[in-house]
Amino acid sequence: MSTLFPLRVRGAGTRRRGKQLVGPINMTWDGGGTRVVLGPNGSGKTTLLRLLHGIARLHDGEVIWASGTKAAQNAQAFVFQRPVMLRRSVVENLMYPLRLRSVSTGQARQKAEDWAVKVGLADHIDRSAPVLSGGEQQKLAIARALIGEPELVFLDEPTASLDGRATREIEAILNDAVASGTRVIIATHDMGQARRLAKDVVFLLHGRVHEESPADTFFDAPQTPEARAFLNGDIVE
């Protein structure tokens, strides 16, 4: 059903003023189920997601989506580590991606209100988005990403600022989305969440894929000492 997969990444890398931020990255993804990106701070999770989505400059190698790059980006949505709020009301934030695709105002509004209810923002619908709390902003950003029914959604630590209950709510929403055919790739520091969501795991270290394996394998029998140390909460060198 999805036209994006398989995804093939060959020697992809990005630099900044000559310094290699990530790469060379090699991986493939058939898009079956949720993929979790793990790794210590600064290991390149955010940069990898941006690279795949096409909003970070690809200096080396290639990122090949089955559908082609342009079509791929249109079929994807991205939730940033620090949510970007449009200076508009909650409902207008939700309507924005729909209005970009010329969905009529009435339909867009209806759908936006449904999503506001889904993420627990129904009471805040007419408030301006930038004054919401951090957690509320994150929920809004997730709803705004999913409202356009993307084939794939990138989530960069989406629940880092949410409490336990909100985290579970978001995970439930993600599971719904997955059930209806959306694929998810998520970077997280929450190991519980990683275990709950992951079908497979990419473990990054120093800007490279250090381990890429099915979730069961990764959590129960990690292949490398670094991954083992990371899972134990030890310092990874």
| Interface residues toward ligand ATP, by CB under 6 A | 16, 21, 39, 41-47, 81
Per CB under 8 A, does 5 bind another protein? no
Per CB under 8 A, does 32 bind another protein? no
Q: Assess contact for 12 and 60: CB atoms under 8 A.
A: yes
Could you tell me the smallest distance in angstroms from the CB atom of residue 53 to ligand ATP?
13
Applying CB under 5 A, which part among 32-40, 43-51, 92-100, 223-231 lies near Mg ion?
43-51
Which does residue 219 bind out of ligand ATP, another protein, Mg ion, none, counting CB within 5 to 8 angstroms by kind?
Answer: none
The answer, yes or no, to whether the previous bond of 24 is cis (omega within 30 of 0) is yes
Which of 52, 9, 25, 80 has its CA nearest to residue 204? 25
Applying CB under 8 A, which part among 22-30, 122-130, 186-194, 209-217 lies near another protein?
122-130
Which of 83, 110, 82 has its CA nearest to residue 94? 110
Nearer to another protein, 140 or 227 (CB): 140
Could you tell me the smallest distance in angstroms from the CB atom of residue 161 to ligand ATP?
13
One symbol per residue from 143 to 182: x for binding another protein (CB under 8 A), - otherwise; what is it?
Answer: ----------------------------------------
Nearer to ligand ATP, 50 or 124 (CB): 50
Applying CB under 5 A, which part among 69-77, 80-88, 133-141, 228-236 lies near Mg ion?
80-88
Per CB under 8 A, does 122 bind another protein? no
Q: How far is the C-alpha of 44 from the C-alpha of 26, rounded, in Å?
A: 14
Could you tell me the smallest distance in angstroms from the CB atom of residue 117 to ligand ATP?
31
Report CA torsion sign: 43, 208, 205, 159.
Answer: positive
Give the SS3 label for residue 93.
helix
One symbol per residue from 84 to 103: x for binding Mg ion (CB under 5 A), - otherwise; what is it?
Answer: --------------------
Alpha helices in the chain (DSSP H): 45-53, 69-74, 90-100, 105-118, 134-146, 164-179, 191-197, 215-220, 225-231
Nearer to ligand ATP, 16 or 70 (CB): 16
Q: Are strands 152-156 and 35-38 parallel, antiparallel or unpaired?
A: unpaired
Report CA torsion sign: 83, 86, 90, 94.
Answer: negative
With 0-12 / 13-18 / 19 or more C-beta atoms within 10 angstroms meaning exposed / middle / buried, residue 141 is buried
